[in-house]
Structure 1
Amino acid sequence: MRIIAHRGASHAEPENTAAAFDAALVEGADGIELDLQLSRDGEVVVFHDATLARLGLRRARIRDHDWSDLAGLDVGRWFAGQATPHRMLRLTDVLAGWGGRTHLYLEIKHAEGRRGRDRHRELAERTAEAVRAAGLIDQVSILSFHEAALEAVHALVPTLALVRNVQRVGLLTRAAQQRAGLSALCVAVDRFGAAQRARLAALERPVYVYTCDTPAQFRRACDLDATAVISNGPAAARRWFAGQTSA
C-alpha cells in the first residue's frame, strides 16, 4: 500500500507548509499531496482554502491578492502550538524543494467567482507548464474533482499522470470516462465501501482512497483493493498496514 501524505504530515505540522512536507518525508511517506490555488497576478500558490478566513482574514480571498501580499502571511498561525511563522509556498518552491525527493500529487482546486471557469483552466495550464519546465513529469500526478482541469493539463502535457477525485458513488462512472491520461481514481473513504469493490474493479483503474486516518478507514481501503491511501498521519498509516502484513 502506498502512503501519500495529505497536505504533508498535517497531523503534526500546519498543512501545505514546508514543515509538513519535511515531516512527511521523515515519516516515510511515499508521496505528498498538496493543494493549488491561483493568485490575482497568476502565481500558483499552495493553499487549500479559497479564502484566508483561517488566518483571521475572513473576507479575504486568494484570487483577490497578488503573490507579494500572500508571501508575508503566516499560514500556520491557526495550528495549535505554533511559535515559528510558516510562509505560504508557490508551486515553483515545492517543485524545487521536494521534486525529485518524492512523488508529488498536485490537486487543482476549483476557482470560484464570475471568471471561475477561465481561472480554473489557467490554474491547470500554469501547473502543467511549471511541472514540464521543472523536468518532473514522471514524478508528479495531477488530481482534481473537475474533468475540465484534467483535460486542460492533458492538452498541454499528455504524459502527465491524471487522477480523478470522486466524492460520491453516483459520479463514479462519469469520472471513469475521463479522456486519455487518467491513471487512477481517488475516492472518498467515508462514501465508498465494500459494496463498490466490484464496480471499482470493473473500471480497471488503480484506486486511491482519501482521507484515511483510523483503523476503520484503513480497513475500508483494503476492502476496496486500494493501491494507495492519502493520510494526515503517514507514519501511523504505515504502522497499521505493516501490522496487517505481518499478522
Structure 2
Amino acid sequence: MTQIYGHRGAKGEAPENTLVSFQKCLERGVRRCELDLHLSRDGELMVLHDPTLKRTTGQRGKVTEHDAAELIQYDARQGGPGWPQPCRIPRLAELFEKCPFEHWQLEVKSASRDRAARTVLAIQDLANEYGVIDKVTVTSSSREVLRALNHLTPQLARGLVAEYAWLDPLKVAQSYDCSLLALNWTLCTPERLVKAQKQGLHVSVWTVNEPALMRRLADFGADSLITDFPGLAIATLGNR
C-alpha cells in the first residue's frame, strides 16, 4: 500500500509550511507530512522552505538574520493559494505540539558544517522532548547535513533527497546509511525503485500532483508519494 505524505502540509490547498496547511493535511485523512527547516538567529527550528523570507512573507532578509520571536510574527501566506486569515511562520515545536502526525519527513537544506551540526542536534533534542524520535526521518540533499546526521545524531533516521541522477542516488544513500530515499518523480523508474527497495530503502517520490501519475507510481510499488494535494491523493489511491 502506497503511503501519502502532505508536501509542506497541504501546499496546494493552504499556505505552505503553516499550521493551517498541516491541519488541512490531517483533515484530509493524511497522517504523514514533509516540511522544511531553517535555524533562526537564536537557534530555534523554524518551518519554511526558502533561506530568505521574501517569497512567502514579503519581508526582507534571511531566516538566519532574525530571532524566532520576530519570525513568528510574519505572515507567510504569500505565493500560495488565497487564504483569508494571516498564517504565521511556525516553530517546529508548535507543530509537534498540535499536529499528531504518524511520521514526519524533516528536510534540511544545504548548510555549513557548523550550521548542519547545530541543526541536527536541535532536531534530536526537540524530537526527544516531544517523544517523536521514532516518528522522524531527517532528509537532505546536502552531504554536510547527512555527514552531521551520521556522526552527531545516529539515533535519528535519515534520508537522501535526490533530484538529479548525475550521482547514483542509491550509492549516496548507502554511503550515509540512509533508510529513506526521497526521489524526484522523474527519476522513479521501476528498475531504480526495485533496486532501492532491495537495498532496504523506503522510496518516497515527490512532488506528485496528477492522479494518473499517482496511480502509475503506486502501480510501480513506490512506498510513499509526497503531494501538494493530500485530499486528491486519498481520493485517487484510497480505494486501492
Same fold (TM over 0.5): yes
- Is 1:143 equivalent to 2:139 in the alignment? yes
Partner of 1:185: helix, strand, or coil? strand
Partner of 2:15: 14
Hey, what does 2:117 align to over in structure 1? Answer: 121
Cα distance in 2 for partners of 1:26, 1:129 equals 28
Kept after mapping to 2: 8 A contact 1:129/1:156: no
Instruction: Tell me if 1:47 matches 2:44.
Output: no
State the match for 2:160 in structure 1: 164
Residue 186 (structure 2) aligns with: 190
The 1:219/1:44 distance shift into structure 2, 3 A limit, reads same
TM-score (ref. length: structure 2): 0.89
Contact 1:36–1:107 (Cα < 8 Å) also in 2: yes
How much is the aligned-residue C-alpha RMSD, in angstroms? Answer: 2.0
Q: 201-210 or 190-199: which moved more?
A: 190-199
State the percentage of identical aligned residues.
32
Give the C-alpha shift of residue 123 in structure 1: 1.3
Instruction: Return closer, same or farther for 1:223/1:92 CA change in 2, 3 Å cut-off.
Output: same
> AA paired with 2:103?
H
Is the partner of 1:126 in helix, strand or coil? helix
Aligned to 1:3: 4
- In the alignment, structure 1 segments of 5+ residues that lack a partner are none
Take 1:35 and 1:170, find their aligned partners in 2: how far apart are those partners? 24
Q: How many residues align?
A: 237
Give 5+ residue unaligned stretches, structure 2.
Answer: none
Do residues 230 (structure 1) and 213 (structure 2) align? Answer: no
Partners of 1:186 and 1:224 in 2: how far apart?
15
Q: Equivalent residue for 2:58?
A: 56
2:193 and 2:203 in contact (8 A); partners too? no
Residues 193, 220 of structure 1: 8 Å contact kept = no
Distance 1:179 1:56 in 2: 37
Deviation at 1:229, TM superposition (A): 0.6
2-structure distance, mates of 1:73, 1:61: 13
**CA deviation map 1:79-136 (0-9, x unaligned):** 34322111111111111112x443222111223xxxx332122112211221122221
- Per-residue deviation, 1:157: 3.9
1:176 aligns with 2:182: no
Q: Offset of 1:238 from its aligned partner? A: 1.7
Asked if the contact 1:2/1:227 (under 8 Å) is kept, the reply is yes
Q: Check 1:222–1:101 CA distance in 2 against 1; reply closer, same or farther (3 A cut).
A: closer
Q: Deviations over 1:37-88 (max 9, x none)?
A: 011111110000011111223x511111112221211011443432211111
3-state SS of paired residue (1:190): helix
What is residue 25 of structure 2 aligned with on the other side?
24
**Partner-residue secondary structure (3-state), 1:124:** helix
Name the structure 2 match of 1:104: 104
